[in-house]
Amino acid sequence: MNPPYNAQRKHSDETYVKTWNSKIKEDPSKGFHYVYKIAEKVKIGRLAVLLPMQCAIGTDADIKLYKTKMLEEHTLDAVFSFPSDMFHPGANANACCMVFTLGTRHENAPTSTFFGYFRDDGFVKRKNLGRIEKTDDKGLGVWANIEANWLDLYRERKAEPGLSVCQKVTANDEWLAEAYMSTNYSTLTQGDFERVVRDYLAYVLKNGEQL
């Protein structure tokens, strides 16, 4: 499911809205309260949801509240970090996918949570075309192989540097692969280094700091 991230009061759960500060106009849980209500109705099975990365980091009070409520009743099975431009050219949302096993408290889960750093899906942005699939030397699309690898990592709960890690977490922790996985330095390029330096210089100039 893909709940609204910035739902207005009239589109949010009435009981939850009553707890909002009078100045709040949009859902402070960024859609997490929808996830909890759906899980409450479905009760058992698997639930996959698209939520903003902010929900996975979870430092805001309302987000942390629903992270806690979900784990009290359900298990966080997996979280996948998605490409930052996945919704291009539509919404400009940096999203992740959370997978919950409903009906089993997180503390009773038999395995650790799987975290996938699935940022590079083999698609690139093209003007007037949106995101299109890259091809290999034979002219074949690269997505099929990437998808197969991701599914294998998830199903077998494999840890691979730069791509995945399994980690026990609580509601107080970050729910993102970036917080736990090892870096695969073999994939770094000169371009990666130059991009980081440019970003740092831009930050310094923007904030008027000294090098």
Give dist(CA 53, CA 49) in Å, integer: 12
Of the pLDDT bands very low, low, confident and very high (cuts 50, 70, 90), residue 97 is very high
Domain ranges of the chain: 9-184
pTM of the model: 0.84
79: three-class secondary structure by DSSP: strand
pLDDT at 187 over 70: no
Q: Any residues with CB less than 8 A from the CB of 33 and at least 6 apart, and which?
A: 12, 13, 16, 27, 62, 66
- What digits encode the pLDDT tens for the residues 38-77? 999 999 999 999 999 999 998 899 999 999 999 999 999 9
Give dist(CA 142, CA 123) in Å, integer. 9
CB atoms closer than 10 angstroms to residue 142: 15
Q: What is the pLDDT of residue 186?
A: 65
Report residue 173 CA to chain centroid gap. 14
DSSP per-residue string spanning 53-72 = HHHHH--SHHHHHHHHHHHH
**Of 87, 11, 41, 71, residue with least CA distance to 3:** 11
Per-residue pLDDT tens digits for 109-166: 999 999 999 999 999 999 888 999 999 999 999 999 999 999 999 999 999 999 999 9
The CA-atom distances, in angstroms, between 53 and each of 19, 93, 98 are: 23, 9, 10
- Mean pLDDT is highest, among 83-87, 119-123, 179-183, for 119-123
Average pLDDT for the chain: 90
